[in-house]
Chain A
């Protein structure tokens, strides 16, 4: 069997693969090249890609996707505890349970659309959160979160004769520890190549490929039709429910996978992963990057995680250094102004950025890139053709 792919898509996939694999080179200069943040980029990229299949294509705005992320995490940690420290069974069961939960929640929630659908998913997610937080404490270990223990059974590992000794085990892919890192120095920078990141990266590329295939398939077209006018679809005698439910389950499985990977790279599962703020975060990521575009959600996820991890770490000392070239009074004034926006104020910066994007670039960062590109081509090759292509691509959204 052979695949027919648009040349642009092949180029996009190849380019995406190169960027993902070369991430430690690309992100180290902006201070984001350390393993934990790269892993977060990849994991939340997968999460947002899956969310985009539902929201970007069908237009159903789910406010409860964090529930599936949490389910995936708990499943993966239990798989580590009971079965094996190998991530394969962990992510298999994480995807499976993410899919099962989304089938149940989706089946009920999809009876309504619009705001009622959003509220239903939000309610289900909050139920899951509260269950995990207190009622199901024996399974989830409540607020403290589920952690590994030296005395866990790990049936498959024991059967295979793997003994972790007295130390806490680390998840490992057939002998490769997920937290092992190789450091090299290139152009005076220390680059960290982490096996856990590359494990996530391969899955991210696979997820991106699947998402691309869905976007280009007749099934994807049907989902877009659901978004543009569901009533008209029904009048033509077509039952749209199975399509929307399938999209919901697929995105739930993506979320389950992302949750499972969070546990693979850091074997802990906490209830706050299911909180509504986490559900809101993926909505922000998708809208920030560009809902309904292929690449947008991954970029949005990267931007938000970068803000959360890097901007929140700037303290006054770092700012003082950054402005050290200025005269002292000016330096102090600037530090006191900008410290509002970094450190614990990083939410403020993110909020301002989000507002600017929603007001001026409703299509997200992807629309910004497109405008820049058309602007450049207009400068290069005269106005008319640029405008036409701009209009055409806007219509395609």
Chain B
């Protein structure tokens, strides 16, 4: 067989030369020359990236989020009945697209995993030219994608993410959140718990073992211990565990008389159903009736848990039975298109899309720093939550919080929660420094 003799030095030299030659253009120039900011839309459309979980523990939420995004895009482009655009206090959007450009979108599956979510968001930014990424359902994923958007230089409009860290410890200038957080849940829920269960209670926490679970557990502990409650134990459970019976059995013998389930999505459906099957809801401990609390509630989960949710307290960002003009308009147009009422996840995602589009319109540009400046300190109304403000210091929306209870006699498959109290904004507001973190400067990506 014929042989070719290659000198090692020659080979290395050749490879190095080839490498340098091909890499040379990247050394001397960068993307900077091509556009003023990352993915500046040059055609007659502007592309938004909808990055939601289509598989995994939060797939139900993800599907509903995607429905809301599609509805929002229709309304922005002037199709359908316009939804909340007609009730929104800012009248800049006329259903003619944004800044004269038609709104287009791309979708991706986060798989409820940080890596997959970032890969999907990167595809939208690098390949599809998305100028804004939005989505969520897991705080861990939202924080990871928010970091990516900061690095890449596009705006991130957080979807459903409830952890304090999203606009606290891990906040970023390019990230904005409309949804409430665990701090607000604690502040809103504690007085209601006191009125219903008294101030002498022993609580047992089961907590989803990730950012949001820890954040939720911390806030509920903080506010219930202020009431005089005692925390017996706080047990961490893996995300997507499926079977919680091994975690629920110890609750029976712990002497606790309240079970706090810091779970969401299918985890909450499973843990609550199993807790009720174990007879916890009908038990009497320390001479008091045993109580279960689910701090973050949603209608989708209530549907999944069925009868188990009757009489159980929790908080929620929005509920479709609200009777203000914005909520009614949104429920009507969502119901017409899909045949059932929207969830809170759908609502927050719809709002975020409208708020982003409105900010672009007011700023007259899609440049992240300009859009951010238009959102900072922006006060608005008519999106279903009453008067709301995007706080400039941490890019968090402040609005009223709903405390809800599972209905004893639901009239339909969707009418499962009743609003117990609307906690006013002033009661849930906290100083921005409380949660730490730093926004840093805006990144326009160029």
User: What CA separation (Å) do A21 and B150 show in the bound complex?
Assistant: 29
- Whether B118 pairs with A180 at a CB distance below 8 angstroms is no
A5 touches B440 (CB 8 A): no
CB pair B19 A179 closer than 8 Å: no
Shortest Cβ distance from A130 into chain B, in angstroms? Answer: 8
B336 at the interface (CB under 8 A from A): no
Contact A3/B211 with A147-B170, A312-B108, A343-B109 known, Cβ cut-off 8 Å: no
The interface bits of chain B over 142-180 (1 if a CB of A lies within 8 angstroms of the residue's CB, else 0) are 011001101110000000000001000010100000000
The answer to whether B119 and A40 have CB atoms under 8 Å apart is yes
Residues of A291-338 contacting chain B, CB below 8 A: 308-309, 312-313, 315
Complex: A317 Cα to B382 Cα, angstroms: 31
B308 touches A (CB below 8 Å): no
In the complex, the answer to whether A270 meets B114 with C-beta atoms within 8 Å is yes
B140 touching A182, Cβ below 8 Å = no
Give A263 Cβ to nearest chain B Cβ, in Å: 11
Least distance between A340 CB and chain B CB atoms (Å): 13
Given that A36-B126, A176-B27 are contacting pairs, would A5 and B18 also be in contact in the complex, using a CB cutoff of 8 Å? no
Number of interface residues of A (CB under 8 A): 58
In-complex Cβ contact of B120 among A34, A144, A268, A313 (8 A): A313
Question: CB-defined interface of A186-204 with B at 8 Å, one 1/0 digit per residue?
Answer: 0000001111001001100
Instruction: Count chain B residues whose beta carbon lies closer than 8 angstroms to a beta carbon of A.
Output: 61
In the complex, B253 has a CB within 8 A of chain A:
no
Q: Is A37 an interface residue (CB 8 A)?
A: yes
B26 touches A5 (CB 8 A): no
- Among A55-63, A163-171, A355-363, A372-380, the stretch that binds chain B is A163-171
Q: A65: shortest Cβ distance to chain B, in Å?
A: 16
A367 contacts partner chain B, Cβ-Cβ < 8 Å: no
Interface residues of B in 130-144 (CB under 8 A from A): 139-140, 143-144
Question: For residue B148, which residues in chain A have a CB less than 8 angstroms away from its CB?
Answer: 266, 268
Query: In the bound complex, do residue A193 and residue B3 qualify as a contact, i.e. CB atoms below 8 Å apart?
Result: no
Q: How far is the CA of A193 from the CA of B26 in the complex (A)?
A: 7
Contact A202 B165 (CB under 8 A): no
Residues of A within 8 A of B140 (CB): 143-145
Given contacts A147-B144, A272-B115, contact A142 B7 (CB under 8 A): no
Contact B209 A37 (CB under 8 A): no
Q: Is the CB of B19 within 8 A of A198?
A: yes
Q: Indicate if the CB atoms of A144 and B54 lie closer than 8 Å.
A: no
Q: Within 8 Å CB of A1, what residues of B?
A: 8
Chain A proximity of B67: nearest CB distance (Å): 12
A303 to chain B, nearest CB (A): 16
| B440 and A344 contact, CB distance less than 8 A | no
Out of A3, A133, A193, A202, name the residue touching B8 (CB < 8 Å): A3
Contact of A183 among B31, B55, B172, B443 (CB under 8 A): B31
Does A106 interact with chain B (Cβ within 8 Å)?
no
B119 near A144: Cβ-Cβ < 8 Å: no
A227 within 8 Å of B by Cβ? no
Name, among B6, B25, B115, B148, the residue most crowded by chain A CB atoms within 10 Å (CB to CB): B115
Tell me, yes or no, whether A10 is within 8 Å of chain B by CB.
Answer: yes
Cα–Cα, bound, A7→B140 (Å) = 51
B11 at the interface (CB under 8 A from A): yes
List residues of chain A with CB within 8 A of the CB of B126: 34-36, 181, 192
A205 at the interface (CB under 8 A from B): yes
Complex Cα–Cα for A312 and B52 (A): 12
Q: What's the minimum C-beta distance from B55 to chain A, rounded to whole angstroms?
A: 5
Complex-state Cα separation, A180 to B144, whole angstroms: 20
Bound complex: CA A170 to CA B151 (Å): 8
Contact call B31/A10, Cβ cutoff below 8 A:
no
A125-151 residues with Cβ-Cβ distance < 8 A to B are 133-134, 142-145, 147, 150
CB-defined A-B contacts under 8 Å, sample of 14: A2-B5, A21-B22, A34-B126, A134-B209, A134-B236, A143-B209, A144-B170, A182-B30, A194-B26, A198-B23, A201-B19, A205-B15, A268-B144, A309-B123
